[in-house]
Amino acid sequence: MNGPLKLHGLRDKRSSPVTSGIRAIGCEGTVGMSKEENNMQELLDSQRKKLKERNNDLEAMMMALKEETITMTKALNTRIEELEKELTLYRAAVEEGVSSAAHNYKDVPRPKNFVGTMSTCDVDNFL
């Protein structure tokens, strides 16, 4: 082609410059298009279709991942809340155990000192 393509009419978002020019004149199809232009338009349409399909597939995958992430986040938040409650109970039990152990430690009687004699025979017989 020599020089830029001139359009005959307004172009909408779904059409190419070539087809919008043909539509403005009142023709449909490939009338007025060269074989190269027709092949190029078919190639562009084919690529546009493939890209739309890939885009739709990617959008579906993203939605599935988003839903999975939301579900996982909710499950993790629930588990964290359960663990925090359990930790609170354990802390209370440990504090109570430490305080009661401190009180009981003072009440334990001390052993009395040995007053007497012990022979090695008695020790051997004891073991």
Residue 1's pLDDT band (cuts 50, 70, 90): very low
Residue 55's pLDDT band (cuts 50, 70, 90): very high
| Average pLDDT over the chain, rounded to an integer | 76
Global confidence as pTM:
0.43
**pLDDT (tens digit per residue) in 57-98:** 999 999 999 999 999 999 999 999 999 999 999 998 888 876
Biggest alpha carbon distance in the chain? 130
**pLDDT (tens digit per residue) in 94-111:** 888 766 655 555 566 677
